[in-house]
């Protein structure tokens, strides 16, 4: 019963995150691209009401995610968040198109089906089982070193490239690691709340750790959206978050997944999710999430577009 409740809460969290993503992307596409990491990007977005509304949706999303992680293993809960992409497109039909919903192409609906089928296939074949609710410090040290190293390497690789697909994919990979690490820290912090109450929660380093990693992940996601097309960043973010979360669940919390010949249907499921993510990121609504209303790339600032129209 608990595992199904965890799945329900995870889906609710994915829906809240999808709405948050649509609103944030609607605001982010109005900000011009910088050739460097923009540390002032968040400050610019704070002046946009739609971005603030998107950020408010993070609160119920975090609450639902914490409940899901309390009731189920990380390797079950976090992969469900691949549903954010199809949910975001369904929400974007209304939010980005006004009172008349836009159509999603047949390829887009195929992408939705592939992602749902792939997720069900991968989770069904892996059959993750819960382990411990918290991880010892020795395991956390190794996990933090590995995750921070990957983030630094991917950000460094992205900074060596100009705006475009490679840079967006690198920043998307860094965001994926950040979100997976945030979920793992949130699971550990939620255990502290459950067993020690608010006092233990607010004195636990994991509570401040997931806040920091969440901010880093958000910062990298915003820059990924600014750096290149959604077709480059979103598949990496979608699949990377799920796979890294699965790895952290196994290594940190002793969660178990099937191996042996079960790896074949698991790989097939992962491939279907990736295929669906690629298809969905190519539909017009997905491109609208990463471009201006006129379809011009984010690399052109509003001022440049004004000069062109003049």
Could you give the C-alpha distances from 38 to 7, 85, 88, 218, in angstroms and in order? 36, 25, 25, 13
Angle at CA 275, nearest 5°, toward 270 and 276? 100
pTM: 0.76
pLDDT reading at 291 higher than 70: no
Lowest mean pLDDT among 82-86, 145-149, 243-247: 82-86
**pLDDT on residue 36:** 52
pLDDT at 304: 36
State pLDDT tens for residues 5-15.
889 999 999 99
**Bridge partners, residue 291, by sequence:** 297
Give percent above pLDDT 90 in the chain. Answer: 26
- pLDDT at residue 182 tops 70: yes
Residue whose structure tokens are 């690789």: 157
CA angle 212, 253, 80 (to 5 degrees): 70
Q: In the prediction, which pLDDT does 24 show?
A: 72
Question: Across the chain, what does the average pLDDT equal?
Answer: 80
> How many Å apart are CA 47 and CA 45, to the nearest integer?
5
Q: Give the model confidence (pLDDT) of 63-74 as tens digits.
A: 898 899 888 888
Q: What are the CA-CA distances from residue 65 to residues 39, 204, 206, 220 (Å)?
A: 28, 19, 16, 20
Contact 83, 116 (CB under 8 A): yes
- The answer to whether residue 124 scores a pLDDT higher than 60 is yes
Q: How many CA atoms lie within 13 A of 194 on its CB side?
A: 13
The predicted structure's pLDDT at residue 305: 37
Q: Is 159's pLDDT higher than 80? A: yes
Q: Tell me the C-alpha distance between 201 and 208, whole Å.
A: 9
Six-digit token pair at 228? 């290149």
* Higher pLDDT pick, 304 / 141: 141
CA–CA distance, 253 with 251 (Å, rounded to integer): 6
Name the token pair of 8. Answer: 């329900």
Residue extents of the structural domains in the chain:
2-302
- Phi, psi for 191 (deg, rounded to 5): -65, -40
């Amino acid at each position: 019963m608990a595992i199904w409740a965890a799945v329900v809460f995870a889906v609710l969290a994915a829906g809240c995150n999808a709405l948050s993503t649509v609103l944030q992307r609607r605001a982010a596409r109005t900000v011009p691209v910088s050739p460097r990491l923009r540390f002032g990007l968040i400050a610019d977005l704070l002046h946009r009401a739609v971005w603030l509304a998107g950020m408010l949706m993070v609160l119920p999303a975090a609450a639902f995610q914490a409940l899901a992680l309390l009731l189920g293993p990380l390797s079950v809960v976090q992969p469900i968040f691949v549903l954010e992409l199809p949910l975001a497109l369904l929400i974007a039909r209304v939010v980005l198109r006004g009172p008349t919903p836009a159509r999603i192409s047949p390829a887009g609906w195929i992408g939705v089906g592939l992602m749902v089928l792939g997720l069900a296939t991968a989770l069904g074949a892996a059959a993750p089982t819960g382990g411990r609710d918290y991880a010892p410090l020795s395991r956390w040290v190794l996990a933090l070193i590995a995750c921070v190293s990957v983030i630094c390497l991917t950000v460094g690789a992205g900074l060596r490239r100009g705006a475009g697909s490679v840079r967006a994919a690198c920043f998307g990979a860094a965001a994926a690691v950040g979100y997976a690490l945030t979920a793992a820290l949130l699971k550990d912090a939620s255990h502290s709340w459950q067993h020690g109450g608010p006092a233990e929660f607010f004195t636990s380093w994991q509570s401040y750790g997931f806040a920091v990693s969440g901010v880093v992940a958000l910062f990298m996601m915003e820059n990924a959206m600014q750096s290149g097309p959604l077709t480059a960043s979103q598949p990496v973010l979608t699949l990377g978050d799920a796979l890294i979360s699965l790895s952290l669940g196994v290594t940190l919390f002793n969660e178990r997944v099937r191996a042996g010949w079960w790896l074949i249907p698991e790989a097939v499921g992962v491939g279907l999710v990736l295929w669906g993510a690629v298809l969905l990121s190519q539909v017009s609504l997905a491109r609208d999430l990463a471009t201006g209303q006129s379809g011009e790339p984010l690399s052109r600032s509003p001022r440049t577009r004004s000069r062109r129209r003049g």
